[in-house]
Amino acid sequence: MNKNPREHIALITGASAGIGLELTRKLLSEDWQVVALNRSDFPKEDMSIQNAVKSGLLRIYKTGDLADYVSLRRTLEEIKSKEPRIDILFNNAGGSFPELSYSKQGRERHYELLTVVPYILLMELKELLKISSFKTVINTSSSALKFTNEFTIDILERPKTFRKLIGPYATSKLALSLWTQAIAPKLAEDDIMIRSVDPGGNNTLKKGKTSGLPLLVGVLMKLFFPPPTHGANKLYEGALGEHRNKTGVFLVKGQVAELKFSDQARSVLERLQTIYEHDFLQRNL
């Protein structure tokens, strides 16, 4: 529990459902203010959430597709103009898609949403992190990245094949953890800590929504996986637990894990910086 109630502010992307919703609930219960960057609405029947909105402890910023740079830029400008600081940035939004598709920028959708957009959010919100107490970034990754057997920038942006969960989703999560590792020394110059965290298996299936999971995985998830409170706790621990003083690491089951293709971490980071400068900044001038 924080010694100064309501002093600290966390920004959570994808805060209205699944792991993000449970993390929002947990932080509010721990006397945090929460800034939610969402595409969809919070559950109207959840009175604790609705009361937090009314009191201003939970502040919602809506955007369309996070990979729509025009909408994203507009929402980020609003956040930067209204929020005093961000203690922890939880880059949590994202999911798996059922088929190969591309963003408006022409890149594979998993890569755009799970790898590129978190980098843009960090770059855009870095000044708010620098003036906070915790100065922490948590990127939601996945142990699915261990299934990646081939890895290049070209494969990330335009995959040659598509497989649910262990295809573009896994390579995009690997790229996320790789740039997390690569950027850590630079962020440390501003005392910003960054980690990627696997929230483990969670039953995050949504009624009426097409899943990007293989059929068997979906069945197992429904029958045996824990509720998303499990994943929320993993992200919370990743931010505030025993590894809070480490940066650039990938955490799995509370332990630091090695990453495959670490020799390509720098090239991933350089590619993201180019996208940020040329696709996001210049096109939004």
Whether residue 1 lies inside any domain: the answer is no
What does the pLDDT read at residue 202?
78
Whether residue 235 lies inside any domain: the answer is yes
Whether residue 204 lies inside any domain: the answer is yes
What does the pLDDT read at residue 3?
46
Contact status, residue 145 vs residue 170, Cβ threshold 8 Å: yes
Whether residue 4 lies inside any domain: the answer is no
What does the pLDDT read at residue 205?
62
- Scanning the chain, the segments in alpha helix (DSSP H) are 18-29, 47-55, 69-82, 109-110, 117-130, 153-157, 168-188, 215-224, 229-240, 265-275
211-270 pLDDT per residue, tens: 666 666 666 667 667 889 999 999 999 999 999 999 999 999 999 999 999 999 999 999
- Dig out the tokens for 99 from the structure: 């088929």
62-120 pLDDT per residue, tens: 988 899 999 999 999 999 999 999 999 999 998 889 999 999 999 999 999 999 999 99
Tally of structural domains, the chain? 1
Whether residue 62 lies inside any domain: the answer is yes
The residue behind tokens 């483990």 is 200
204: left (phi over 0), alpha (psi -120 to 50) or beta: alpha
The CATH number given to whatever domain includes residue 138 is 3.40.50.720
Q: Which of 26, 124, 119, 131 is nearest to 86 (CA)?
A: 131
pTM of this structure: 0.93
Whether residue 3 lies inside any domain: the answer is no
Contact status, residue 148 vs residue 170, Cβ threshold 8 Å: yes
Whether residue 239 lies inside any domain: the answer is yes
- Dig out the tokens for 48 from the structure: 């604790």
Structural domain containing residue 45: 9-284
- Dig out the tokens for 123 from the structure: 């770059």
What does the pLDDT read at residue 227?
80
What does the pLDDT read at residue 2?
42
Contact status, residue 74 vs residue 113, Cβ threshold 8 Å: no
122-133 pLDDT per residue, tens: 999 999 999 999
In percent, the amount of the chain with pLDDT more than 70 equals 90
The H or E element that residue 38 is part of is strand 33-38
What does the pLDDT read at residue 217?
64
Whether residue 2 lies inside any domain: the answer is no
Supply the mean pLDDT for the chain. Answer: 92
